[in-house]
Amino acid sequence: MSFKVKVLLTNIILMAVTLGVIGYLLLRNSFSVSMDMQVESGMDENQMIVASVQAEIVKLLVNDSFENMEQLASVGESIGETMEGTGASFCLLSGQQNIIYSNSDSFEYSPQILDYLEKGTGNYLIEDRDSGKLLTIASILQVRDSTLYVLNQKDISDIYIENDRQIRYFRILMLVALILCSAVILLMTTWLTKPIEQLNQTAAVIASGDYSVRTEVHSNDEIGELADKFDRMADAVEKHVKDLKDQARQQEDFVASFTHEIKTPMTAIIGYSDMLRSKEMEEEQRFLTANYIFHEGKRLEGMSLKLFDLIALDRKEIDKTLIYTSAFQNEIEEMAVPILSRNQMKLSCDMEPAALYGDRDLLSTVLINLIDNARKASEEGSTLEIVGRILDQDELQKVKDMHNVASALYYEIRVIDHGCGIPKEEVDKICEAFYMVDKSRARKQGGAGIGLATTRKIVEAHHGYFLVESVLHQGTTMIILLPMADHTLFGTEEAKQEEIP
């Protein structure tokens, strides 16, 4: 049973019970009031008859002419003449319940009404007759040693008829009200549960695998809040699924690329090794063959070491120490000399004094990696640049807004070349393991496509960010953003000692 039907049935049952109880109480109260009025009217009429009889008896007693109860028949006649036309019937009974006088030939009563009567009191009884409902009122008088009963009757069938009519009318009215209210409740329930149905439908679509749909429910109530949280949950699920798919794709690409990368040098190594052991070769050919085997072996060794770095960075926390940029700059310049000298390149390094917090060896690896990549993308004799500076407040705010970070200060290091650049569509992919923009050039220069993946892992392990800006045929800028240590450390004795060459 749907929620909408449950709400509809609950409201109908509640409304039917409420209307039924209210109607019953109203009709019962109306009937009781009418009945009380009729009983009160009958009592008054009985008391009027009793008063008239008493007055006549007093006259007879005063005149000393009262002989027996039968004399009261004339009293009854005079009272009957007075009540003629009112429709009321009455009778006078002796103590032996013999009729002394009755203004109606069909006056009937139940003897039980005379039980428990006491002098000066009255009693009434409602009886069913063929003609309808009759109200009988009785009272008792004591005349000398004799007893006189005064009875009067009223037809109160109209009260019961009217009560039955009101009950039938109320039933019809309640049925109509239930039908109309049910229709209104159905419309309101449909309107109120529409967002829930949308949530249900959206959940079914998402469960089927389509994570792009949303509820499109906009209301300022609890259901609107639920829909908003549902949409945010769907966004999170979609992002998580996308990340898992990207991760699975990257893993597949990683395995495929690794297999491809290792297959070529291994095939060459096996082939050339077979030539060395099975053929007679000139000394020069033997040297070239052994050199090729050595070169490919070193490339496999470098690839293995970098793969180990990638795996290790995923599995452990790095040990961090203070790194002062002035001394760090000197180290990088010394390490870059043998890398750049083979291509007659120069390095321009300008790093603003600051204190970083990280692993010196890993950050050295990052910068040497970036310098080596810049060398491979640049012409011989060109100049590479390293620029380091503390971000100002506006730039820092942009970093915080973009990455939702709370660090007080960030330090930016840019490695700039003016080489071939990277196509726009390739920029987002170059940090994937084994991805190479120009595979033939990269392999020729000894690359395996793991350097930037390792660089990004190291920077992220320092809670930093790695960005790439590039224009094709104009050059590339690799940007590293690293959290800074306390700026008060810049002028310490330790910092000054580190700055000494």
Across residues 122-136, what is the average pLDDT? 82
Which range, 329-333, 422-426, 481-485, is most confident?
A: 329-333
Please state, rounded to an integer, the average pLDDT across all residues of the chain. 79
Across residues 106-111, what is the average pLDDT? 79
The predicted structure's pLDDT at residue 351: 92
pLDDT in tens, 6-50: 888 888 888 889 888 998 999 999 999 999 998 898 888 888 888
pLDDT in tens, 415-453: 999 888 887 767 666 666 545 444 444 444 444 445 677
The predicted structure's pLDDT at residue 402: 65
Closest Cα partner for 329 from 298, 306, 354, 312? Answer: 354
The predicted structure's pLDDT at residue 65: 74
Tally Cβ neighbours within 10 Å of residue 337.
11
Binned at pLDDT 50, 70 and 90, residue 404 comes out as low
Q: CATH assignment of 317-499, given 3.40.50.1980, 3.30.565.10, 1.10.10.60, 3.10.20.30?
A: 3.30.565.10
- The order of strands in the sheet holding 146-155 is 99-102, 89-94, 146-155, 132-143, 122-129
The predicted structure's pLDDT at residue 414: 93
Across residues 245-272, what is the average pLDDT? 69
Binned at pLDDT 50, 70 and 90, residue 122 comes out as confident
Report the CATH number of the 3-163 domain: 3.30.450
The predicted structure's pLDDT at residue 204: 85
Give me the count of residues in the chain.
501
Tell me the CA distances in angstroms from 176 to 10, 164, 169, 185, one per residue in order: 18, 19, 11, 14
Residue 358 scores a pLDDT above 80: yes
Tell me the CA distances in angstroms from 104 to 92, 108, 148, one per residue in order: 11, 9, 18
pLDDT in tens, 159-209: 888 999 999 999 899 899 889 988 888 888 888 778 888 888 888 888 888
Measured CA to CA, the distance from residue 449 to residue 313 in angstroms comes to 17
The predicted structure's pLDDT at residue 369: 82
Which pair of tokens denotes residue 312?
């290790």
Closest Cα partner for 410 from 397, 423, 421? Answer: 397
Binned at pLDDT 50, 70 and 90, residue 500 comes out as very low
Tell me the CA distances in angstroms from 326 to 14, 301, 329, 346, one per residue in order: 82, 33, 5, 19
The predicted structure's pLDDT at residue 441: 46
CB distance 70 to 96 below 8 Å: no
Measured CA to CA, the distance from residue 424 to residue 439 in angstroms comes to 17
Residue bearing the bigger pLDDT, 198 or 407: 198
CB distance 106 to 141 below 8 Å: no
CB distance 453 to 433 below 8 Å: yes
Residue 354 scores a pLDDT above 50: yes
Q: In the 8-state DSSP scheme, what is residue 28?
A: H
Across residues 372-378, what is the average pLDDT? 85
Residue 244 scores a pLDDT above 50: yes
Tell me the CA distances in angstroms from 161 to 29, 42, 155, 479, one per residue in order: 16, 19, 12, 98
Q: What burial class does residue 160 get, using C-beta atoms within 10 Å of its C-beta: 0-12 exposed, 13-18 middle, 19+ buried? A: middle
Residue 152 scores a pLDDT above 90: no
Tally Cβ neighbours within 10 Å of residue 309.
17
| % of the chain with per-residue pLDDT over 70 | 81
Alpha helices in 208-349 (DSSP H): 222-278, 283-315, 325-341
Residue 385 scores a pLDDT above 90: yes
Question: Computed over its alpha carbons, how large is the radius of gyration of the chain?
Answer: 56
The predicted structure's pLDDT at residue 494: 46
pLDDT in tens, 267-294: 767 887 888 888 777 888 888 888 878 8
Which of 259-263, 273-277, 490-494 has the weakest average pLDDT?
490-494
The predicted structure's pLDDT at residue 395: 77
Across residues 252-278, what is the average pLDDT? 70
Q: At what angle do helices 157-207 and 3-62 cross, to 10 degrees?
A: 170
| % of the chain with per-residue pLDDT over 90 | 8
In the block, residue with structure tokens 């970036």: 370
